Amino acid sequence: MDKHYSPGDNINQYSIIKIIGEGRYGIAYLVEDLNLNKYVLKQLKNDMVEAKRKKLFYEEELLKKLNDYRFPKFIEKFNYENSQIYVLEYIEGKDFEVILSEEGYEFTKKEIYDIADQLIEIVYTLQNEGIVHRDIRTPNIILGENKKLKLIDFGLSRYIDDKRYVKEIDYWFIADFLIHLYYTSFYKEDILEEKPWFEELTLSKEECLFLKRLMSIEESYKSIDEIKCNLEDIKILEKY
């Protein structure tokens, strides 16, 4: 049985502030060190470490490759009371799960295009290192200072092998995320009939095709450069 720690407990030099979340592989805590610097501390669950040892340690390896403010830095790992501990940089800002679910912010098209630009650049950077993230969802995208995006949680990330781990999965996640943003300005009438997003949302023909191609509903994009160029064309047509 894995031990659960509480606010005020210490793990080496780190004092626990609160539990951030718990999943199959571990428990995440917000902590601070003796100098009051904040970090994310991950306590890996022992049964998962034994069963999925190779998969668990991709996060460490991949984050060490990335030296970029848009991704958390891997600080250190150690054993503590029979648990494997990871310490990661704490990324300041709000995640989009909070922005969409709790704050109810309504995004303009200009803001959506800016976010799309940033997400595409993030994926471009990952692909240059041969990495596919595989989990670009609302809780893993942080809106930081000056509306700059940061991407966290590399637990499912892998090296692209064009077989099981393909770059196209990140394109699908980008589209799904953008659809969430488009829906913030959608007001559904009291109609019983359920419609797919491409019929409900007010999208131009070009926007709709862009999202469908990202999701491989229509012909898939061949490269991230093609995606970037297509988005620029859409912004010109939409006068953004």
Sign of the CA dihedral with 206 first, then 207, 209, and 210 last: positive
Selecting among 95, 135, 161, 162, the annotated active-site residue is 135
Element (H, E) at 31: strand 26-32
The CA–CA distances, whole Å, from 92 to 62, 108, 151, 164, 192 equal 21, 24, 11, 33, 41
176 included as an active-site residue: no
CB 109 within 8 A of CB 189: no
Read off the amino acid at residue 55: K
DSSP 81: T
> CA nearest 66: which of 162, 151, 5?
151
Show Cβ contacts of residue 69 under 8 Å, excluding neighbours closer than 6 positions. Answer: 150
SS3 category, 215: coil
CB 107 within 8 A of CB 181: yes
The residues that are catalytic are: 135
